[in-house]
């Protein structure tokens, strides 16, 4: 997979979704306040395996359908499909819940 590490932004149902990937670890947060952490593993068709602190399961197991280094498409077992765009310089979108770690 081509350069999955970094900060990725999507809009799930018109609300921001952020996925951060580094060293095969992943964290996802949504405007609805879900904070999920886990891993990105696998060759060919990598899989995101996350656990959400609040028990939400909308985005806990996802298959990376494509990644060209600038756009990554993920299909989640919960039925959601996200198209993430790689953030420039790690810039986060507005509209996320407060209290998220910044570093």
Give a yes or no: residue 103 inside a domain.
no
Q: What is the pLDDT of residue 68?
A: 92
Q: What is the pLDDT of residue 98?
A: 56
Give a yes or no: residue 101 inside a domain.
no
Give a yes or no: residue 100 inside a domain.
no
Give a yes or no: residue 66 inside a domain.
yes
pLDDT in 10s for each residue of the chain, 103 residues: 558 999 999 987 788 999 999 999 999 999 989 999 999 999 778 999 999 999 999 999 999 999 999 999 999 998 999 999 999 875 665 655 555 544 4
Question: Which CATH number belongs to the domain containing residue 33 in this structure?
Answer: 2.40.128
Taking the model in full, what pTM does it have?
A: 0.84
Give a yes or no: residue 97 inside a domain.
no
Number of domains present in the structure of the chain: 1
For 73, the token pair is: 């498409």
Domain that holds residue 76: 6-89
């Amino acid at each position: 997979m081509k350069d999955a590490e970094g900060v990725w932004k999507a809009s799930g149902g018109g609300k921001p979704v952020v996925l951060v990937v580094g060293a095969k670890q992943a964290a996802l947060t949504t405007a609805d306040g879900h904070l999920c952490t886990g891993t990105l593993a696998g060759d060919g068709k990598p899989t995101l395996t996350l656990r959400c602190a609040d028990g939400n399961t909308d985005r806990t197991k996802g298959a990376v359908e494509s990644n060209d280094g600038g756009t990554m498409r993920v299909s989640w077992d919960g039925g959601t499909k996200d198209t993430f765009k790689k953030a420039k310089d790690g810039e986060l979108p507005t509209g996320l819940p407060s209290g998220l770690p910044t570093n």
